[in-house]
Structure 1
Amino acid sequence: MPVTEVVNAERLRTVLSVAEVRGPAVLAYSSVELFRPVTVGAKAFERLPPEDAALGEFLSSAGEADRDESGLDEITSSAFVVRSAGAVASAAGYRVWPNRTAHVSVLTASDRRGRGLARVAASAAVEHALGQGLVPQWRARTTESRRVAAALGLRELGAQLSFRLNSQPGEGQSR
């Protein structure tokens, strides 16, 4: 398959027995030189351990689709959170992957989006990853997520399509 077809879910289904597809998504990366940290409101975040009850409550209140897409329940770093009225309104962190990659995760409460909270939380997470000598990786499917990544200086360099195959040949396919 040509590279452009690899991230085409329908084309993939003609070749493989696919049970579930996530994506396509763009992959963006940053470096110390490219990173543009948030400076306005940058002190408005706090750092929590990933098992903190406030983060758990925030993730529980998010819809299943948003929670799963964010990947915040898989971070290995601290969580960098922004609060509104005492409750976590946005959170970011990262999971360390092979080859010193920091896979960044971010989520903002649906009723708090569009206020720059994701930029503040994500800026703190990306800055921390860079300080650890890691390469921040951002996976984005939505235009809004891509805008946050671009605002922080991450450059789109690839694409990703994640899928789960059926466990038995022909399973999940109509006859």
Structure 2
Amino acid sequence: MSIDPLLARARALWEGLAAAPVSFAPEGGVSVVVSPESRLCPAGWVGVVSLGDAAVATAPTQRLAVLVREGLAALPVAAVADADAVREVLPVARVLGPAALSYLTPDAFRSAPPGASAVRRLPRLDPELRGLEEAAGEESSAEAALGDITSPAFVVRAGGGVVAAAGYQVWPGGVAHISVLTDPAWRGRGLARVTASATVAHACAAGLLPQWRARPLPSRRVAAALGFRELGAQLSIELT
């Protein structure tokens, strides 16, 4: 049975990031592997990524892999990246996520409408971006991770400073991981869509696959407005 090319490419990315031989099973279900070097989660944690009707999970030790395999087997695939459901079957100390994973093909891209706020380009480490991070606060800035982008930053200026910015970091397999941040005082004006639109256009022109990872619903709505398709979710778990 053929698989959606977009889903196949997204799965290939996360299989590589698992840093151990693992794959999304064609028949569905969860594949669990031991991988101390996994990039699905922080070091020492369990990482779970569901895409379509299958999921992969990494654990730092064999003991935890057995525990995770037995626990997640009790859940449908649709629930393995649901923090509340996972707490019912595993001894969870802390979680990060879940974050929705969305991807976009160039033919599905819907750019921001003409006449939107003017977008300018800045170097990725421009000092003006630090001012935006300070205004947005530590939690929002950490989520956006503008400091990790490898592309130029696409920004909107107002009142003498940058009030919204976006860019992307090139991940393995030609994936462009999108980062977007807006000053709280300027949210609700479509600036995230405007800056992200310029970022996505740049990534597509470079032949990259745009990836949008987000927890807040407003961010997921921006992704959907641009043409991204939600394919799954990522959850990181620290076990007791």
TM-score higher than 0.5 here? yes
Question: Paired residue for 1:84?
Answer: 158
Aligned to 2:208: 134
Percent of aligned pairs with the same residue? 55
| Alignment RMSD | 1.8
Which residue does the alignment assign to 1:37? 111
* C-alpha contact (below 8 Å) 1:41/1:120 kept by paired residues: no
- Tell me the equivalent position of 2:12: none
Any stretches of 5+ residues in structure 1 without a counterpart?
A: 171-175
Q: Deviations over 1:1-32 (max 9, x none)?
A: 23223212244346656554221121111111
- Can you list the C-alpha shifts for 1:126-174, whole angstroms capped at 9, x where unaligned? 11000110000001212211111111111111111134x36xxx4xxxx
Q: Once structures 1 and 2 are overlaid, which stretch shifts more, 121-130 or 33-42?
A: 33-42
Alignment: residue pair count: 166
Cα separation, 2, equivalents of 1:36 and 1:44: 17
Match of 1:70 in 2: 144
What's the CA shift for 1:57?
1.6
Give the C-alpha shift of residue 116 in structure 1. Answer: 0.7
1:44-99 deviations in Å (ceiling 9; x for gaps): 11111111010122112221110111121211111111111121111101111111
Aligned to 2:184: 110
The amino acid of 1:71's aligned partner reads A
Q: Distance in 1 between matches of 2:171 and 2:91?
A: 28
C-alpha distance in 2 between matches for 1:148 and 1:32: 16
Extract unaligned runs of 5+ from structure 2: 1-71
Instruction: Return closer, same or farther for 1:90/1:30 CA change in 2, 3 Å cut-off.
Output: same
Higher relative contact order (CA 8 A, sep 6+): 1
The aligned residue for residue 96 of structure 1 is 170
SS at match of 1:133: coil
The answer on whether the counterparts of 2:117 and 2:156 sit within 8 Å (CA) in structure 1 is no
CA contact (8 A) 2:135 2:184 kept: no
Q: TM-score, normalised to structure 2's length?
A: 0.64
